[in-house]
Chains A and B, each alone.
Chain A
Amino acid sequence: ELKVEQNPLFLSMQEGKNYTIYCNYSTTSDRLYWYRQDPGKSLESLFVLLSNGAVKQEGRLMASLDTKARLSTLHITAAVHDLSATYFCAVDSTSGTYKYIFGTGTRLKVLA
Chain B
Amino acid sequence: EAQVTQNPRYLITVTGKKLTVTCSQNMNHEYMSWYRQDPGLGLRQIYYSMNVEVTDKGDVPEGYKVSRKEKRNFPLILESPSPNQTSLYFCASSPWDKNTGELFFGEGSRLTVL
Contacts and interface: CB of A to CB of B under 8 A. Distances in A.
Interface of A: 31, 33, 35, 41-45, 48, 50, 88, 90, 92, 94, 97-105
A104 B96 contact: no
Given A88-B43, A98-B50, A100-B58, 8 more contacts: A31-B101, A33-B102, A43-B105, A48-B100, A98-B56, A99-B58, A100-B33, A100-B45
Interface in B37-51: 40-45, 48, 50
B102 A99 contact: no
A104 B44 CA distance: 9
Interface of B: 31, 33, 35, 40-45, 48, 50, 56, 58-59, 90, 92, 96, 99-108
Nearest to B107: A42
B90 A43 contact: yes
B43 A102 contact: yes
Contacts of B31: 98
B78 to A, nearest CB: 21
A102 B102 CA distance: 12
The residue among A31, A43, A98 with the most chain B CB atoms within 10 A of its own CB is A98
Contact of A94 (B44, B90, B101, B108): B101
The residue among A41, A97, A101, A102 with the most chain B CB atoms within 10 A of its own CB is A102
Contacts of B58: 99-100
Contacts of B106: 42
A101 B101 contact: no
Nearest to A92: B101
A28 B111 CA distance: 35
A98 B48 contact: yes
- Sorted nearest first, the 5 A-B pairs with minimum C-beta distance are A104-B42, A92-B101, A102-B43, A42-B105, A102-B42
B101 A88 contact: no
A41 B110 CA distance: 11
Contact of B102 (A41, A48, A88, A103): A48
A45 B102 CA distance: 7
A35 B104 CA distance: 10
A21 B59 CA distance: 25
Contacts of A50: 99-100
